[in-house]
Each structure stands twice: as structure tokens, then as C-alpha cells.
Amino acid sequence: MASLQVLRRLCVFTLNKPVYHGRVISACGLKTSTVNHGQPDSVSAVTYEQLKAMLAKHSVQLFDVRNTDEFQAGRIPDSVNIPLGQLEESLKLPPQQFQLQFGVKAPEKEDNNIVFHCRSGKRSLTALEIGHRLGFSKARHYAGGYIDWEQREKK
């Protein structure tokens, strides 16, 4: 393990900087996946303004991955609550069962209007990675989360 770390450092210093490919870092031919809870990729993040427009056009499948009690305390209109711990299992449900359980049409892997959100953006980023891993490659997340939504809606 220590030798791998030394090799990676040597490669990174030799090449100056690692090359980032989405969520994969490549240095000296070594590739590792990363989970970036810092700045989200702009392609996979939805802004407040974008989300408002999608909601106005009824062109979004908005999934709130907060816990049920958080969802009941306040929510973004038209969002469907699927707590993060149940997300993977729920996205694997047959379409009819998903619709029975959540009262909305099941998302399809090629849909480009799937948006996950949570309180502050951390859980929704994890939800996004789960969705991408399951084949929902065009899914995005609302990085500002419910905190941002609530602040902007009060103005």
C-alpha cells in the first residue's frame, strides 16, 4: 500500500499534475475513481434558475433524497421523496412497482430531466453517483439543495 502511494506521488510530480476525466483521475496510466464533494461538475449540476424553469415547464423528475422527516418539514414543489438509503433499491424496481410505491412514472435510463436534491448538495451528489452507476447517465443534481431553494424563495 505504501509503495503504491509513493509511486502515485512520483508519477504526479513527474507529470506535473494528474489529468481529470470527469470522476476518474489518470496519472502515469493509473486510473482511480473519485468522489468529489467539493465543487460539482457544471454539466451534472442544476442551478436554482434552471430548476425553476424546469418546474414551470413540468419537465423535471425531481427526487428529494433527504429523510422523510426532513421532506415533511419542507419540500420543493413536485419533488418525490426517496431517502438516500433507499435510492439504489428504488431505482432498480420494475416500472410498475416504482409507480405504485412513489406515485410517479419510473425514470428511464436515457431521461435527461432527472434531478436529485437534498438539504445542502452532499447527499444529492452521492445520489447522482448512484444514478450514474446504475446507468442514469444524464441525471443531474441541484447542488444548492433545499437550503438554497428556501432562501431564494423567501426573497
Per-residue pLDDT band for 128 (boundaries 50, 70, 90) equals very high
CATH number of residue 118's parent domain: 3.40.250.10
Counting the structural domains of the chain, the total is: 1
Q: Burial of 80 by CB count in 10 Å (0-12 exposed, 13-18 middle, 19+ buried)? A: middle
Query: Which residue out of 45, 118, 127, 143 is catalytically annotated?
Result: 118
pLDDT at site 15: 39
pLDDT at site 24: 39
118 catalytic residue (yes or no): yes
C-alpha to C-alpha distances, 65 to 6, 14, 19, 115, 149, nearest whole angstrom: 39, 42, 31, 10, 15
In the predicted model, is pLDDT for residue 116 greater than 50? Answer: yes
Query: Is 94 a member of any domain?
Result: yes
In the predicted model, is pLDDT for residue 107 greater than 90? Answer: yes
Query: Is 8 a member of any domain?
Result: no
* pLDDT tens-digit series, residues 57-90: 999 999 999 999 999 999 999 999 999 999 999 9
C-alpha to C-alpha distances, 67 to 16, 109, 135, nearest whole angstrom: 43, 24, 24
Residue 49 belongs to domain spanning = 45-154
The phi and psi torsions of 27 (rounded to 5 degrees) equal -145, 125
* pLDDT tens-digit series, residues 9-68: 444 433 333 333 344 333 344 434 444 444 445 579 999 999 999 999 999 999 999 999
In angstroms, rounded to a whole number, what is the distance separating the alpha carbons of residues 58 and 60?
A: 6
- Sequence letter at residue 101: Q
Model confidence, pTM: 0.74
